[in-house]
Amino acid sequence: MPDPTLLPVAEQVSLLRSGALSPVELIDQSFARIDAIDPHLRLFTWQDRERARASALEAERRYRAGGELPALLGVPFTVKEQIPVAGAPQTFGSALYRDHVASADDPSVQRLRNAGGILLGTTTMPEFGAKASTDSRLFGITRNPWDPSRTTGGSSGGAAAAVAVGAGAIAVGTDIAGSVRIPASCCGVLGIKPTLGAIPQVHALDLFNALGHQGTLTRSVADAALALEVLIGPDPRDPWSLRAPRRALRDAARADGDLRGLRVAWLPEVGKGPADAQVLQAGERVANALREAGATVAQHRLDLSDSGAAFEPTVLALKRRFLGERYPAQADQLDPGFRGWLDARLPQLSADELQHAQFARTRLLRRIQGLFAEVDVLLTPALSAPPLAADGTDGDFDWIHYLHPFNLSGHPALSLPAGLSREGWPLGVQLVGPWYAEDRLLRVAAHLQQRLPWGTPELGRWLP
């Protein structure tokens, strides 16, 4: 039997139903994978071994009993540490919250449990999710399974790497500026940020200026569709979720037929300078694969360069409000980079700047909607360069400018693998669709996965 921890969810469930694999075996092998890899990569902040094994025993009983069973019965999953899990530490990657414990499960955790999923544990993030790599003073550096000298990206870096190595088939992360799509690109997996509010965000401080999304990381398009079917749907505590339709997405996530009639805008440049040549070559490969599948692909230019001016003041104000009295009173416990950003920018932040940020956000939305009047899907690079060094020695530059505009606009967006760099590091592209067009994005991604198959990291190259 192939390694069951690396199988697609549908194949895991098929083996579990047939009795060829037991839920206990799958959970035990998942924790064995964590034991072998986590000391080298640092992916987990907390593990729920006792409850996971008890849940696996219950899943085993239910499979033996037969009858109608939930879609994810016995399937292991993880969540980013920012997402509340009842009784689990929730530090947000910060020493300021080292003793904080979540009191209740987030709706995403509840929905996955209700579908039969088994939580393995929570995964690493940088302090307050404030940078595009995953390291913190509290948990150290999270390293990339393709090459431990490289970053996993952030801020859902532990989640993406866990999926890549088979420590869970599904991971849930958060995405306020690309934090699902950045690590998906770095780790060679699929990361999708659905439409704003499609997965409810019931803990957001400011729902009406919301930038944050929850999203999933998986090893296949079909797995993403199944996870999103479970997770998407309204919750009265999040007004953006109230129009989020529950839909059967698995049928969409198939490479049936062709893509004739689909109009794709290829955006190699969005107003912030050109991407690395290898990144652009990967994007061209994907554009050609879409043409071969029957889509019409034309290069467009869309200026998204004012996204940073709209994004930074909004995020800065949210981080400041979240910290409350802890800043500046306990600022010495913060990561120096995060503290430096707060110290430098907060004194300058004004109500006028915040208002202008919202005006810029509105202009950005209208510009993107204008292009969607002409095309069906946008194709961009995911990141402007291959994965950076894990220790930060590659320097700080605008690496994520293709991603955060679509947090501001709320459009669904996904990053999917697009080959490897000459060094053997994953490269990704981004697909963006109109609001609630997750089914369209999944269909396109399924065609691309079929035409440009994805690999998995060769752990034997570095694992002792």
> 3-state SS of the chain: helix, strand, coil percent to 5?
40, 15, 45
pLDDT tier at 247, thresholds 50, 70, 90: confident
d(CA 63, CA 398): 50
Q: What are 316-350's pLDDT values in tens digits?
A: 999 999 999 999 999 999 999 999 999 999 999 99
Res. 182: pLDDT tops 80 = yes
Residue 117, classified by CB atoms within 10 Å of its CB into exposed (0-12), middle (13-18) or buried (19+), is buried
Average model confidence (pLDDT) across the chain:
96
Asked if residue 286 lies in contact with residue 449, where contact means CB atoms within 8 angstroms, the answer is no
pLDDT at 397: 55
Res. 398: pLDDT tops 80 = no
pLDDT at 274: 79
Q: Known catalytic residue: 179?
A: yes
pLDDT at 26: 98
Res. 361: pLDDT tops 90 = yes
Query: Residue 176 corresponds to which tokens in the numbers above?
Result: 């306020």
Res. 13: pLDDT tops 80 = yes
pLDDT at 454: 96
Q: Known catalytic residue: 155?
A: yes
Question: Which residue in 155, 156, 185, 384 is the catalytic one?
Answer: 155
pLDDT at 457: 96
Kindly state the average pLDDT of the residues 407-431.
Answer: 98
Question: Which residue in 22, 133, 136, 179 is the catalytic one?
Answer: 179
pLDDT at 395: 61
Helices (H), 98-232: 107-114, 157-165, 181-187, 221-231
Query: Residue 247 corresponds to which tokens in the numbers above?
Result: 């839909």
pLDDT at 338: 93
Number of Cβ within 10 Å of residue 364's Cβ equals 23
pLDDT tier at 47, thresholds 50, 70, 90: very high
Q: What are 122-144's pLDDT values in tens digits?
A: 999 999 999 999 999 999 999 99
Query: Residue 40 corresponds to which tokens in the numbers above?
Result: 């080298």
pLDDT tier at 273, thresholds 50, 70, 90: confident
Q: Taking each helix axis from N to C terminus, what angle separates 9-18 and 49-65, rounded to the nearest 10 degrees?
A: 60
Q: Provide the CB-side half-sphere exposure for 101 (13 A, CA).
A: 4
Kindly state the average pLDDT of the residues 34-59.
Answer: 98
Res. 396: pLDDT tops 70 = no
Contacts of 224 (CB under 8 A, 6+ apart): 190, 192, 216, 218, 253, 414, 442, 445
Question: Which residue in 80, 131, 193, 319 is the catalytic one?
Answer: 80
